[in-house]
Amino acid sequence: MQATTIHALKEWAVAVNALESGKTIMLLRKGGIHERNGRFQVAHERILLYPTYEHQQAFMLKTEYASLVYPVTSGWHPETIRIGSWAEITDILPVSNESIVNALVPFHIWNEHFISDRLKWKARQPLYILLLRTYKLAQEQEISYHSGYGGCKSWIDLDQSIQIQGSKPVLSDFAYIQLVETIRGIVGDKLYSPLL
């Protein structure tokens, strides 16, 4: 395994915290406005988790997560960003069926409003369900904010490498595999494309 990486996935801070604490292994994505070719694409399988704050919407989260969101003004960002984890994207499940997505509600942090909103936006494109095996870094890193990290994009490369060797998985192998198998069963074996 590589010892360091610069590749990062931007995600709401509340979602990064949920991944780091083992409360979820799932992200729902359609991509940022500035995605290449206007579609969400997975650029790297192993990525640092970069928390963002600007676009967090409490009303799109389940109650227990909504209270963790602090509103910020447009364009606001912290001067330094805490990078505390990285993840391996083990599965990418493209789903367009709202009933399947609704059946996955127990496995993520968002509510039905978020699901409906995501499915309607770019309606011809599927919603991508990402399953992530998250690892806590042996030592958290504080990095300086850089203007290149801003904007509505999913993937960024950091200006400095982050050490990922010595990281510890948030969930045991058994717990992670059980969750993945349950989610795959809901989505249906014909729909998923595992990366492993």
Q: Which CATH class is domain 4-194?
A: mainly beta
pLDDT of residue 36: 56
Q: How far apart are CA 59 and CA 193, in angstroms?
A: 31
pTM of the model: 0.88
Neighbour-count burial for 48-65, b at 16+ CB within 10 Å, e otherwise: bbbbbbeebeeebbeeeb
Pairing of strands 80-95, 26-29: unpaired
The residue ranges of the chain whose pLDDT is under 50 are 33-35, 190, 192-194, 196
- Listed by start position, the domains of the chain span 4-194
